[in-house]
């Protein structure tokens, strides 16, 4: 069976306003979970799902995001000279994971616009592309593989959804769905941004993973700015749905960290640290004491 996609696009050109003032100087995509930036986890997820190429969409002021995937021979040599082979392995991890390229988004005109900026990086082989938002950590990984299987069976585009409690649904883009006979795969007939709980067509909310038919690039050229004056990816997907293009969601029954805001990022950092043998035990003990004294 041929791979459903070769290229994974990671939009990382946003302004990161929820992380100001840090994002004045440091891209939020490089903030570390323990010692590793989230974008490395997302790149690994893409590679594990079969992607051969990562297109990082950055802005002219965020070149460091793409530099993270470059080799650094001077640092490697200096660490090797000091016998620090474990650190050499660490810094080689990202460049070895996947071939990374950049696409430049000059202005943060929205997620849809950012994805459109990667079109020039595609080849004739790319019938579909994966899009992974680096501020969304999906646990366990593997959802993209399942999404690729669904595309192979049903064609079109496949998105990832979470089943969210109805009272929290107003924070999300929500799918209007029809059953397909499988609990975890639904056909999408529409999308609504941030509905009131009583108006929500389902409790299935969009997460930051998309497997999009190449037709998305044409749709992106035909939409006009939507919410916040930005070109929204969901508007282009809605256009495809209206034109009869098949769109399905895979319902993910796992966990998620939203790194786009400090509260979600802090939870993720603590969660990841608790899972490391190096920092977990001490942190757990300190947290217990800290909470007892609060
Ligand atoms: P977000 O809305 O979470 O990121 O977009 P943001 O706009 O940087 O953050 P805030 O709202 O100002 O705090 C999701 C992903 O899409 C990218 C972001 O970098 C992030 O990884 N993005 C967003 C772009 O690449 N370009 C854009 O114009 C907008």
Q: How far is the CA of 28 from the centre of ligand 1 (A)?
A: 10
Burial label, 96 (beta-carbon count in 10 A; 0-12, 13-18, 19+)? exposed
- Is the Cβ atom of 57 under 6 angstroms away from ligand 1? yes
Best residue among 14, 22, 46, 66 to mutate for probing ligand 1's pocket (most ligand atoms within 8 Å of CB) is 14
Burial label, 281 (beta-carbon count in 10 A; 0-12, 13-18, 19+)? exposed
Assessment of whether the complete model's pTM goes beyond 0.85 = yes
Read off the pLDDT band of 1 (50, 70, 90): very low
| For ligand 1, atom 7: residue with the closest CA | 14
Q: How far is the CA of 279 from the centre of ligand 1 (A)?
A: 30
CB 128 within 8 A of CB 75: no
Q: Residue 231 forms beta bridges with which residues?
A: none
| For ligand 1, atom 14: residue with the closest CA | 133
Q: Which of 229, 77, 46 is nearest to 145 (CA)?
A: 46
Q: How far is the CA of 47 from the centre of ligand 1 (A)?
A: 22
- Is the Cβ atom of 17 under 6 angstroms away from ligand 1? yes
Q: Which of 154, 161, 131, 168 is nearest to 49 (CA)?
A: 131
Read off the pLDDT band of 239 (50, 70, 90): very high
- Is the Cβ atom of 47 under 6 angstroms away from ligand 1? no
Q: Give the angle 180-182-186 at the CA atoms, nearest 5°.
A: 50
Residue 221 has pLDDT above 80, yes or no: yes
- List pLDDT tens digits, range 38-72: 999 999 999 999 999 999 999 999 999 999 999 99
């Amino acid at each position: 069976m041929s791979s459903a996609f070769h290229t994974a696009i990671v939009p990382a050109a946003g302004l990161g306003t929820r992380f100001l003032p840090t994002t004045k100087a440091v891209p939020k995509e490089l903030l570390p979970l323990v010692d590793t930036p989230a974008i490395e986890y997302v790149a690994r997820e893409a590679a594990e799902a079969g992607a051969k190429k990562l297109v990082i969409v950055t802005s002219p002021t965020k070149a460091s995001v793409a530099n993270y995937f470059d080799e650094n021979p001077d640092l490697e040599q200096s660490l090797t000279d000091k016998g620090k082979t474990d650190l050499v392995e660490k810094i080689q991890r990202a460049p070895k994971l996947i071939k990374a390229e950049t696409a430049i988004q000059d202005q943060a005109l929205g997620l849809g616009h950012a994805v459109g900026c990667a079109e020039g990086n595609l080849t004739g082989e790319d019938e579909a592309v994966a899009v992974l938002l680096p501020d969304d950590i999906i646990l366990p990984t593997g959802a993209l593989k399942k999404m690729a299987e669904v595309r192979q069976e049903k064609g079109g585009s496949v998105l990832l959804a979470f089943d969210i409690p109805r009272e929290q649904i107003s924070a999300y883009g929500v799918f209007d769905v029809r059953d397909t006979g499988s609990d975890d795969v639904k056909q999408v007939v529409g999308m609504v941004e941030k509905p009131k709980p009583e108006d929500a067509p389902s409790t299935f909310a969009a997460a930051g993973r998309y497997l999009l038919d190449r037709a998305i690039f044409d749709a992106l050229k035909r939409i006009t700015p939507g919410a916040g004056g930005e070109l929204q990816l969901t508007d282009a997907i809605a256009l495809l749905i209206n034109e009869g293009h098949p769109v399905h969601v895979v319902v993910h029954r796992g966990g998620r960290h939203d790194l786009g805001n400090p509260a979600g990022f802090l939870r993720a950092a603590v969660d990841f640290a608790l899972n490391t043998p190096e920092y977990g035990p001490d942190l757990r003990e300190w947290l217990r004491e800290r909470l007892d004294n609060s």
